[in-house]
Chains A and B, each alone.
Chain A
């Protein structure tokens, strides 16, 4: 039996190969199209979901994992590990943490074996926290050590993203500050940063290129401040070329200890729309 099992939601955007390599258990969020539910990244492809989104925005929605699926996954992991560390998306962004708490409550005698960690992060930032914790778990470190590593990574990781089309975000109502932005005259591509568990606009460059360069600058500065290679993750919504451009910009001036590119989960992509590109790093 493993000492520690790492569980996280599909919002962590962990590529399938790393799920297996690091033995991370990923709980799928739900995508709902015309009253039919699909498990994120399992029952529907990204392209299919965005096609449906474009056709009829109002008929698509997203949902936290069902209580049943959460209990099921936790019960399964409890059989394979002494303790579970469940790393959720920022509780300010989703009800996953609450749903997971309810699921843990239903596990009665085993509830103390599970610890929930609000990552205060999302996307690959959340994924990198889970991956660091999973690596520690795989090394055989005890639960407390794994938890500390997860917390330490959560305190260090930064996430910036550029929105290509503000309409989706405006419709979602997810980022109130966005209402202050108008894009009638200017070709603004706002850059958001995860700050205190929330995505906040930090810059409004007047072109996509400038926005990507702004994100790259943040990663490069992190590299320079830390004085060591950074761990880099890129994500995008149907914008692979832009993600590659961003990666190249960063790598041109910053050394990377690790790097991967992930598809931004449609669970959040519904609110950002296609064209989103971002990076998380620490």
Chain B
């Protein structure tokens, strides 16, 4: 059954070689793409390269020995992969290969049951190799693939292999986003997929394609992160070495490794064992582990050497604190710039792409960043970014451009940053705001209001609808009175949107002066079209 796939091929050796070469070639071709997916455990952009080198090492080892059996060939392949394994994913991949290889050993030609057994072994091995298994990684893909394959026991080999590929893809996509939370101190990715898992799928894809098993390829371009990392805060060194250690000492060795770094992988079923660890002090690790046995094959590389996401060069003069103000209209954009803010243009009812905001923050040559969302819908988006920067970014949840302006009144980059931030927060909170929108049921194309009754204007303060009326001035007065009920101030700021013309402004201004004479009006013009008027009292 197993050989039916390759009946056209002249010998078994050639089949194995084609399969392995297909996997290696697939990884080679797509290693940069896999690198670009690399977010966890360290965003060092080398997963694709590591998996390719691991598999290529296996291929070289396999070719050293004259072919005697499938079992022997796969054993050599797994051994070579383990010897040449690079990075976490490479080590885990090598473990999987070793597990599969071990499942194939036994009398007779390997079939589906043997392969199934191999995947079971592989799933166990990869989990046992990692000190702190994290779901959502290649580990999960291997495990779920092995679990899913249990129902393929009676299938053909072709169906089994195609099923393995499908299960791997499904697992990868199902667990999308699980790793997002594991990137404290960096920019949080959204719905990320694990690069190691992707590498495994890609290796499978190449292997199956090489022997004519059709696969539905994933569109990997959809999964490439669109944004960069702020910085990497973890250990500096990626250390890999072999240790010749007695098996009864492995538990003790693992415990010791735990205190020396993270992303620890201990691989190999017999000595010498492969150890992979991220650490700040390779010498300390080697000294500690040397007491367990002789060490060989030491390789160490700096984590960020090959990082494709290196920070963009900060631009502009250095500032202790930079303010990013969201703004939709030219008038307010100009005002915020005059007040010293960097402006991020928003469109009404549209969210700012995370990637854009992340890039903006990264480009700032600033120790800290304050975001003024200036719109209720944008506060969450800003908070998401702030959480990704572990303290560098603070959001003052301004829900109106008037609150944003009030905060900016307290901003200068020349004093105690903490004090300035507190003053900005206090100033923003001291403003009570409302807004007026207008609708014209009869002339939907018309942007502006008028005093005729075809318009319905609605005024809101916070989430509360204060007034709906065909008379704009009445609505504004109602909103102003509501603000006065909430806040004992007299400085009234009004921002006129695109749809409010000079006549409207004059009528509103006169109405306020007449009915609420204690208010001192400060008018600004904006060209936003999503609202007619913003009002703020402080």
Contact = CB atoms under 8 A, between A and B. Distances in A.
Interface stretch (B9-17, B72-80, B331-339, B449-457): B331-339
Contact of A206 (B411, B412, B522): B522
A268 B44 CA distance: 58
Nearest to A189: B409
B414 A207 contact: no
Contacts of B490: 209
Interface in A205-243: 205-207, 209-210
A144 interface: no
A187 interface: yes
B491 interface: yes
Interface string B87-120: 0000000000000000000000000000000000
Contacts, number: 53
Given A180-B340, A204-B339, A206-B493, A185 B334 contact: yes
Given A200-B415, A209-B520, A184 B409 contact: no
Given A185-B338, A186-B338, A206 B409 contact: yes
A209 B519 CA distance: 12
A195 B415 contact: yes
B338 A205 contact: no
Nearest to A195: B415
Which of A180, A200, A206, A207 has the most chain B CB atoms closer than 10 A to its own CB? A206
Given A180-B340, A185-B338, A209-B520, A200 B409 contact: no
A145 to B, nearest CB: 33
A267 B213 CA distance: 91
Given A182-B338, A195-B415, A207 B408 contact: no
A203 B406 CA distance: 10
B522 A202 contact: no
Interface string B515-533: 0000010101000000000
A92 B524 CA distance: 38
B412 A200 contact: yes
B423 interface: yes
Interface in B140-167: none
A42 interface: no
A177 interface: yes
A184 B338 contact: yes
Interface in B17-76: none
B412 A202 contact: yes
A65 interface: no
B335 A186 contact: yes
A207 B522 contact: yes
B516 to A, nearest CB: 16
Which of A184, A201, A204, A207 has the most chain B CB atoms closer than 10 A to its own CB? A204
B491 A177 contact: no
A228 to B, nearest CB: 23
Contact of B409 (A180, A182, A185, A210): A210
A187 B334 CA distance: 13
A131 B201 CA distance: 83
Interface residues of A, number: 21
B410 interface: yes
B123 interface: no
Interface string B340-369: 100000000000000000000000000000
Contact of A210 (B340, B423, B491): B491
A183 interface: yes
Nearest to B402: A206
Contacts of B338: 181-186, 188
B169 interface: no
Contacts of A186: 335, 338-339, 405, 524
Contacts of A181: 338, 340
A180 B319 CA distance: 13
Interface string B412-443: 10110000000100000000000000000000
Contact of A201 (B331, B412, B522, B524): B412
Nearest to A191: B409
- Chain B, interface size category, equals 20 to 34
B11 to A, nearest CB: 78
Interface string A146-184: 000000000000000000000000000000010011111
A174 to B, nearest CB: 15
Nearest to B426: A217
B412 A185 contact: no
B487 to A, nearest CB: 14
Interface in B352-407: 405
A150 B76 CA distance: 87
Given A185-B335, A186-B335, A204 B409 contact: yes
A144 B396 CA distance: 49
B335 A201 contact: no
Given A185-B334, A185-B524, A177 B339 contact: no
B334 A207 contact: no
A187 B414 contact: no
Contacts of B340: 180-181
Contacts of A177: 412, 414
A200 B414 contact: yes
B459 to A, nearest CB: 23
A180 B338 CA distance: 8
A186 B406 CA distance: 12
A93 B437 CA distance: 51
Nearest to B520: A209
Nearest to B331: A185
A206 B405 contact: yes
B343 to A, nearest CB: 13
Given A186-B335, A195-B415, A210-B491, A203 B520 contact: no
Contacts of A184: 338
B491 to A, nearest CB: 6
A220 to B, nearest CB: 14
B413 to A, nearest CB: 8
B232 to A, nearest CB: 34
A188 to B, nearest CB: 8
Given A186-B335, A204-B408, 4 more contacts: A183-B338, A185-B334, A185-B338, A206-B405
21 contacts: A177-B414, A181-B340, A183-B338, A185-B334, A185-B335, A185-B524, A186-B335, A188-B338, A188-B339, A201-B412, A202-B410, A202-B412, A202-B415, A203-B409, A203-B412, A204-B408, A204-B412, A206-B493, A206-B522, A207-B520, A209-B520
Interface of A: 177, 180-188, 195, 200-207, 209-210
Please give me the 6 A-B residue pairs with the lowest Cβ-Cβ distance, nearest first.
A182-B338, A205-B409, A204-B409, A203-B410, A185-B335, A201-B412
Interface of B: 331, 334-335, 338-340, 405, 408-412, 414-415, 423, 490-491, 493, 520, 522, 524, 538
